[in-house]
């Protein structure tokens, strides 16, 4: 039987991101993916938001995605665009890029890393004991790993086999989504009616002056709300034709579909992201209505939170209890996103009372403070992990538990950006005070100590200006685990908590 330190079920965006994180940390990782290769049939997600771009920037690969996508102020709440161009980040926008492009770029990235991928293989079951997990594969094969992570999507076999409950809310509405050719000229754009929201658009588009401009020809991406909640089986071209006729009075002569699928507003979250040696990430841990485009970002961020922790546990530098901080940090973020998407879904209801509510909410979120608050959630830039859960400090600098900004630094070796320090996914102790004043020799094999200068104000998204700290310990996921106030008080405890005993 093949053995690996970590096995990942599912090579979608979450599984690939986790595999990259583990490979960067030099952990032996294998991905089991049901599809015969990385190609995703259909466009599915339409992009991701600012914090996800930042995470990719922290690994030095954001440019690959930016080169193929379209940046735009695309985050919306009710009918209001949440313009975040004034947020203090290098990426104050969302990126429009189809999921099949995202997965292609990710697959090319992990092909450069020591990641083993078993395509065309399906996980069918698991059995865990004190030292590892035996993973059953289709065709009767097995593999063994110290830990297994279920990144196998909303219908996760891993979640079910591990006996993790998935409570939440059943679907109340369904939409058909498809890519088809049309013999008639389609009515491109978004339509609202008594059934809900519908949209027709070309797969190829550009953003010009903030507006979507479709490029003529090629397939049309159809999204249509169904009159009644659709069945769970695969939808057909006929279902799509009927739904289009109901809304538009014509099916525009649809033919030659490359992809037809159905999604709903079912909203559920795993009660635990970990059961012993089995963990869940991405859609396997949470499903929700796609309004607001949050799912892929949430999964990629789960992976970046989990990867370095799992690597340290596997290498024996941190105790297994470090893994509990994964659930403690990511479950609340997932729960908040679920509430946010349920609110978005509710605001799409077509009745007059909801329309009145939409008007009121739109007015509120167009005001500056509410805009920032909601844009902070939508972009993921306001995430604040409660580090108390690992015995960390309760109060302290606002940066504690928040994302480290990508500051311009001046070091003895020349200028660089903070995110460049994170490319190899290692912890960083950044000293902005007197050079050489911090001594962490006992962690020298694990934590990079950088003496640097930063000139300029300190500003955090949503919060605004904060006092300039003198030093900070930055976790590999880019979140700050310790903030110095001129002394090294609490530094050793923080390094031990997060990066293991010296
Ligand atoms: C219409 C639509 C629009 C969306 N728009 C957005 C958007 O704009 N922005 C956004 O952030 N999100 C969006 N989402 C959500 C996004 O698509 C998902 O959240 C995202 O794909 C989750 O990634 P994942 O890797 O966790 O799961 P998945 O993408 O579902 O990947 C799971 C992988 O596991 C494999 N697999 C499944 N079972 C097994 C098994 N037993 N063994 C081996 N392999 C297995 C599958 O083949 C798949 O490759 C949208 C979703 C839909 C439906």
pLDDT digits 0-9 by tens, 250-266: 999 999 999 999 999 99
Check pocket membership of 99 for ligand 1, CB cut-off 6 A. yes
Check pocket membership of 47 for ligand 1, CB cut-off 6 A. yes
Note the pLDDT of residue 14.
98
For residue 397, the Cα-to-chain-centroid distance in whole angstroms is: 26
> What pTM was estimated for this model as a whole?
0.97
Q: Which protein residue's CA is at the shortest distance from atom 19 of ligand 1?
A: 295
For residue 375, give the 3-state DSSP assignment. helix
Residue 201 — φ and ψ, nearest 5°? -155, 155
**Nearest atom, ligand 1, residue 294 CA:** 11
Q: How far is CA 391 from CA 312, 313, 394, in A?
A: 18, 18, 9
Rounded to the nearest whole angstrom, what is the distance from the C-alpha of residue 13 to the centroid of ligand 1?
7
Note the pLDDT of residue 120.
97
Best of 20, 283, 291, 330 to mutate for ligand 1, by most ligand atoms within 8 A of CB? Answer: 283
Note the pLDDT of residue 390.
56
Check pocket membership of 7 for ligand 1, CB cut-off 6 A. no
DSSP annotation string for 163-205: T----EE--S-EEEEEEEEESSPP--EEEEETTEEEEEEESSE
Q: Which protein residue's CA is at the shortest distance from atom 13 of ligand 1?
A: 45
Q: Which helix (H) or strand (E) holds 161?
A: helix 157-161
Q: Which protein residue's CA is at the shortest distance from atom 51 of ligand 1?
A: 45
Q: Could you say which residues of the chain have pLDDT below 50?
A: 389
Rounded to the nearest whole angstrom, what is the distance from the C-alpha of residue 12 to the centroid of ligand 1?
6
| End-to-end Cα distance, the chain | 35
Q: Any idea how long the chain is? A: 502
Note the pLDDT of residue 391.
54
Cβ pair 262, 174 in contact under 8 A: yes
- C-alpha to C-alpha distance for 129 and 12, rounded to whole angstroms: 27
Best of 9, 53, 76, 99 to mutate for ligand 1, by most ligand atoms within 8 A of CB? Answer: 99
Rounded to the nearest whole angstrom, what is the distance from the C-alpha of residue 283 to the centroid of ligand 1?
6
Rounded to the nearest whole angstrom, what is the distance from the C-alpha of residue 40 to the centroid of ligand 1?
10
Note the pLDDT of residue 1.
78
Check pocket membership of 69 for ligand 1, CB cut-off 6 A. no
């Amino acid at each position: 039987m093949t053995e690996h330190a970590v096995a990942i079920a599912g090579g979608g965006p979450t599984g690939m991101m986790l595999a990259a994180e583990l490979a960067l940390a030099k952990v032996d990782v294998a991905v089991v993916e049901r599809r015969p290769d990385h190609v995703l049939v259909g466009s599915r997600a339409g992009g991701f938001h600012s914090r996800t771009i930042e995470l990719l920037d922290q690994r030095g690969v954001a440019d690959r995605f930016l080169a193929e996508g379209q940046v735009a102020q695309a985050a919306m709440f009710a009918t209001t665009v949440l313009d975040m161009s004034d947020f203090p980040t290098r990426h104050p926008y969302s990126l429009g890029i189809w999921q099949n492009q995202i997965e292609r770029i990710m697959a090319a990235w992990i092909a450069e890393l020591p990641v083993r991928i078993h395509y065309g293989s399906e996980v069918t079951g698991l059995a865990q004991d004190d030292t590892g997990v035996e993973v059953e594969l289709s065709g009767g094969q097995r593999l063994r790993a110290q830990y297994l992570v279920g990144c196998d999507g909303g219908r996760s076999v891993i979640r079910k086999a591990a006996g993790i409950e998935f409570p939440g809310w059943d679907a109340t509405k369904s939409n058909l989504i498809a890519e088809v050719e049309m013999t008639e000229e389609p009515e491109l754009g978004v339509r609202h009616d008594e059934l809900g929201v519908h949209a027709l658009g070309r797969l190829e588009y550009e953003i010009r002056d903030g507006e979507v401009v479709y490029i003529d020809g090629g397939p049309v991406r159809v999204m249509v709300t169904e009159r009644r909640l659709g069945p769970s089986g695969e939808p057909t071209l006929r279902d799509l034709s009927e739904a289009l006729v109901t809304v538009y009075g014509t099916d525009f002569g649809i033919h030659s579909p490359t992809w037809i699928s159905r999604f709903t507003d079912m909203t559920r979250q795993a009660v635990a992201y970990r059961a012993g040696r089995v963990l869940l990430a991405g859609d396997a841990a949470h499903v929700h209505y796609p309004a607001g485009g949050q799912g892929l970002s949430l999964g990629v961020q789960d992976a970046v939170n989990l990867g370095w922790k799992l690597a340290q546990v596997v290498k024996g530098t941190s105790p297994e209890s470090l893994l509990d901080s994964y659930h403690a940090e990511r479950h609340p973020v997932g729960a908040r996103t679920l509430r946010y998407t349920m609110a978005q879904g509710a605001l799409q209801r077509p009745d007059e009372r909801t329309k009145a509510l939409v008007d009121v909410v739109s007015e509120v979120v167009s005001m500056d403070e509410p805009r920032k608050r909601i844009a902070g959630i939508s972009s993921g830039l306001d995430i604040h992990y409660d580090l108390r859960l690992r015995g960390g400090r309760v109060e302290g600098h606002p940066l504690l538990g928040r994302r480290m900004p990508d500051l311009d630094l001046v070091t003895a070796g020349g200028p660089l950006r903070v995110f460049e320090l994170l490319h190899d996914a290692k912890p960083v102790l950044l000293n902005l005070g007197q050079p050489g004043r911090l001594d962490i020799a006992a962690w020298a094999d694990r934590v990079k100590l950088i003496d640097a200068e930063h000139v300029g104000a300190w500003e955090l998204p949503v919060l605004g200006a904060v006092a300039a700290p003198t030093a900070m310990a930055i976790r590999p996921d880019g979140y700050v685990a310790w903030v110095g106030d001129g002394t090294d008080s609490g530094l050793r405890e923080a390094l031990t908590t997060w990066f293991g005993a010296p």
